[in-house]
Amino acid sequence: MDRIEEELNKLKQNNQLRTIPDIESKTDGKIVINGVEYINFASNDYLGLSTKEILRHEFLNKFDCLLSSASARLLTGSAPEYKELEKTVANIYGKESALIFNTGYQANLGVVSALCGKGDIVFSDKLNHASIIDGMKLSGGEFFRYRHLDYENLEKMLQTKRNNYKRAIIVSESVFSMDGDVADIDKLIELKKKYNCLLMIDEAHAFCAFGKTLAGVSYGKDVDIITATFGKAVGSFGAFCVSNEKTISYLINKARSFIFSTSIPPFNIAWSNWLLTEKRDYIEEQKQKLEHLTKAVHASLRLRGIQTSSVTHIIPLIIGGNEKTIKVSEQLRSMGYYIPAIRPPTVPEGTSRLRISLTADCRLEDFEEVLSVL
Ligand code: PMP
């Protein structure tokens, strides 16, 4: 048996083997896998924009742009659509400038590894996304991970370590992807000022989905660098970073995931921008729908005495072991609900869970049915 086979077998034995599901189609709030339709509680399309046929048809009737950019932005891969979308997201966040990346993964990877070099340090929440961890690993600097949302732990690290390094960056998600809890941005700002650090916030799960404005949790706050994706609540593809002009110019020159990769097709960029500008009212409407549903769902959880750290549209139902989590997920699937088991390494060992993500197209009755099964 070679090493690849050995490792695959080990994953299988630990119930950690991943396979790609045979998804046939997705419509509003539903998903069809192997010919069977399920209620979809696993989508990051929080506003349901990606499956709205009427939006898609309206867009397709209006736009005719290139389907490939055929190059990186710095060569021939740029187009007017990029500048427009960058202006739109910079405005949404009230920041000077923006830069589009191909994915949220590439944005975090590129930003963290560009800003942290030899002699620098990153302080990262323990539950930050893999793209932030990989960015830290790729950077020439050092990194420390503080306990999840534990700002006393972070401050202790800052006290003992900060002065040994040149540039220091504190990085956190705003809404955490697997737990649905929210970082205390004001506290992070206080700490970054006290210890002379940059603050970077990943708004992937909050942008257009959670918070008072479309901007998520960081709007109007003294956050130095914000990243977010178009592939979740915006129902599109790609990602961006907003910051001041100087930092964006630095990233254009130093973020390798930006420099060395063919940029997203203009067609897709135009779709993101069209939704965020022409369809802004509809986005606000769907966001409100999601907010109402989220409130009702949390009230229902409280009523049943189910404790959760989540205050958002992402609800983790932590089961513990891999095998049991898979069984519960399969049982729910046999009843028509698609909620895949989330296992390590995506979440810490022993905290396998069903991650329910609510979208504007979900129904409270369906959520309650899931709870009653559990
Ligand atoms: N940041 C967070 C917090 C995420 O959850 C994800 C995706 N799950 C990403 C970044 C990566 O975004 P993308 O899917 O656009 O690569």
Q: Tell me, using a 6 A CB cutoff, whether residue 77 lines ligand 1.
A: no
Q: Tell me, using a 6 A CB cutoff, whether residue 131 lines ligand 1.
A: yes
Q: With contact defined as beta carbons under 8 Å apart, do 242 and 214 qualify?
A: no
pLDDT, tens digit, 9 for 90 and up, residues 96-108:
999 999 999 999 9
Confidence of residue 374 (pLDDT cuts 50, 70, 90): confident
Protein residue closest via CA to atom 5 of ligand 1: 177
pLDDT, tens digit, 9 for 90 and up, residues 31-53:
999 999 999 999 999 999 999 99
Q: What is the pLDDT of residue 368?
A: 95
pLDDT, tens digit, 9 for 90 and up, residues 289-336:
999 999 999 999 999 999 999 999 999 999 999 999 999 999 999 999
d(CA 125, CA 135): 14
For every residue of 222-289, DSSP letters joined together read --SEEEEESSSTTSS--EEEEE-HHHHHHHHHH-HHHHTSPPPPHHHHHHHHHHHHTTHHHHHHHHHH
Protein residue closest via CA to atom 13 of ligand 1: 104
pLDDT, average across residues 190-214 = 98
Share of the chain above pLDDT 90, in %: 98
Q: What is the pLDDT of residue 373?
A: 83
Confidence of residue 15 (pLDDT cuts 50, 70, 90): confident
- The burial of 214, by beta-carbon neighbours within 10 Å (0-12 exposed, 13-18 middle, 19 or more buried), is given as buried
Q: Tell me, using a 6 A CB cutoff, whether residue 229 lines ligand 1.
A: yes
Q: Is residue 192 pLDDT above 80, yes or no?
A: yes
- Domains with residue ranges and CATH for the chain: 3-52+281-373 (3.90.1150.10), 65-277 (3.40.640.10)
Find the DSSP H helices in 116-244. 130-138, 151-161, 185-194
pLDDT, tens digit, 9 for 90 and up, residues 63-88:
999 999 999 999 999 999 999 999 99
Distance (angstroms) between ligand 1 centre and the Cα of 240 equals 11
Tell me the Cα Rg of the chain.
Answer: 21
Q: Residue 223's CB: how many other CB atoms inside 10 A?
A: 25
pLDDT, tens digit, 9 for 90 and up, residues 244-253:
999 999 999 9
Mean pLDDT of the chain: 96
- Hey, what amino acid is at 197? C
